[in-house]
Structure 1
Amino acid sequence: MMRLCRPVTRLPALRSAEGGNVAMITAFVIPCILALTGIAIDLQNTVRQKSKVQAALDSAVLAGALGRQAGNTAAETTLDVQTYALALFTDQGGGLDCDPVAVTFDETNLDILGTVRCRQPTYLSSLIGHDELEFNVASTSTYGVGKLDVAFIFDVSGSMNSYNRLAQLKTAAVAAVDELLPDSRERDGTVRLAIASYNHSLNAGAYIGAVTETVTLSADGSNSTALSRYNSHNTKRMIDQDSGKRFFYYQSGTCSSWNCGKYSSWSWDTKRRFFDDTGLADACVYERTGTQAATDAAPGSGAWIGAGNPRWSFYAGSSSKYDGWQNVENQNATGYGVGAYEGRHGTCMPSGPVPLTEDKTVLKDHVNALVAEGGTAGHLGIAWGWYLVSPEWAAIWPEASEPLPYRQPQTSKAVILMTDGDFNIEHPTASRDSFRQSMDLCDGMKASSRRIQIYTVGFQVPSSVQRTGDGRTILEYCATSPSHAFSADSGEELIEVYRSIARSISDLRLKE
């Protein structure tokens, strides 16, 4: 049996000499220390080599999967994988010796499995009889054609107007669309893209009636009735029964002074204002609240999306009501926090979501029409990115845009979130802030029952952004893994990031 440590010499004379015991111990210990050091160095080198072999085998098996997709036989694919891997193994050097890659095929799941055994020569460990270290590596890819649903989420808050960010985003997004849907690719429905853009609200577009609750109300009859209805229905699309028009509640004043002004004596009556008579948009929505807030449940009872109605503070002081009243009746009701009136959530971007499609013209038209303004309700963008690829929402979207079932064989789903800063706006009825809501939604998307890949892109994000308790930004938290989180400081970097993500997503159709 090989002995790990041997004394340098028997040193017989030292046995009777003073200090001989120390010398004998030293003679035994030093070789042991040297041997252990040698083993540690050789193990470290072997671990590095194994990591390189893993990367090489992954590439070889993926190349084989691509060949299999192209129609190569099993024998041709096996030879390709072995040849490809051998070239990469040889390039590693360091005396690495690997057997030919063993390749097997699963015709049911359309998988290709590659395994290899390698031997790495040792250097210092060979002095004690260990001439080499062995290790095994395996890699699996699928060569099925596959299907891919991808949702892009774009931050179009006001800060995107700074430093030409919006224009650079448009260029990068168009490049990503071209990468995923090249002109040479057959339009067979296997790759579909969707887009949601957000600021402090989100435009639901043509789907507003399907995702929000609608209530038709007769004349109020009294201020108390109007207040009760405001409290009960301001989360819904309220329709005036007589006119058929959508409205919101506010108060108008009647002056009891001889010289009327802001600080005069006023009495207040609750009135209805039609959206058609303002600068508000009819299709704006805010986040879902309640038990379904962090899920992808289809809109319906207990799960409606919030309709973007202005809010009115009925208990504000008279001067605040005066300011709000003037904004509603004389300034198109578009004020953000003007006295008793808050119209922010009745405003949103002009473009609604783009459901899953392979029509590049539709996708690029949406991108090129983006404008930036307002705050950043990042959780709202995340939610709608999820809805666009969720099979739970199949009845909402057009038939050709119905998302694929979760975990259907040979399918992949991905969401790409882009922002340039903090998530800083949530609806007043929400119980959690935008950051916490975003965490909850990302947790739901990444659950094993759904397996949605989340990629995140930070564009010129400041270091002062909010972080989780363990120091991660929301982009780092939401990303499926650290390798799914990207950052860019320039337009050129942003283009390359989106292209890199697009290539990675394409690989998802090949690799599990």
Structure 2
Amino acid sequence: MQRLTVSERLKVMTARLRQFGAAEDGALIVFALYLFVGMLVVTGVAIEIMRYEERRVMIQGTADRAALAAADLSQSLTPSEVARDYFAKSGLGGLNIVPVVEQGQFGEWRTVALDIQNTYPTFLAQFAGLHEMTVNARSRAKESIGNVEISLVLDISGSMNDKVYVNGAYQGTRISLLRSAAVKFVDTMFKNVQPPGAPAGRLGISVVPYNQQVVLGTNLAARFNISTEHTQNTCVDFFGANDFATPAVTPTQPLQRALERHPELPGKHHGRGAALCQQQDHAEQQDQRADCRRRYRHRHGCEVGSGTA
């Protein structure tokens, strides 16, 4: 094998360097490597965004359903228990669920607000320096009783004059306590359901005083088909189970007017018996709405009749 001199070796090395410098093979490899790394980063970020959106939709949907269920006024569980159960059933039991609950004193409305924050680690996006992402979801639901109709069925029989004692202390008569309770109840309902500035018609209160029977009153009785044996009262008798099969009474349904007086019951009119239906203004059934508080405050409700129911 022939040995090359030093000068010849230098010439060979110089020729090879010139050839390498002029060659274009593999020139895109470095650029391709940079481009590949960039594509990995972009793909990783895109995947993380998809994971973020998927988790956000899941948490937001669960929060919406949980808030609606927790705000349900007929729900037997507490709002916190309902909300946590919904997230646990959706596989999100590890989240910190603390609902903010506001509700009316008498359970006439309830508002439930959920503010969820979930931070989770990333996978591919860590190459871009993004090590974790945070999902925020907020939901708020409210249920309230809209139009409310209440009927106060009040006993105004003679027994309501009985005195009431609590631990030996005299509290008043039954009717006096009934009047104050009725005024307080009506004021409370107007304050919560029909406050000043609220649209009219949200609250309707009807008062039905009774003493053995209920006096319909002339105006209301004229709307029904009541028998005409006499016109001394506006009370109606119901007989048998068929009359109570349905609570509805149609305007054309034949109704039996009550007797003027019962011959077997003692009355102040000798030989005539006691009046079954005391046709007095305070005993009439009334539909009171906007002026309900005014009537109760000025009339203080109902007067006690004779006899007992």
Shorter-normalised TM range: 0.3 to 0.5
Give the TM-score taking structure 2 as reference length: 0.35
Structure having the higher Rg: 2
Give the TM-score taking structure 1 as reference length: 0.22
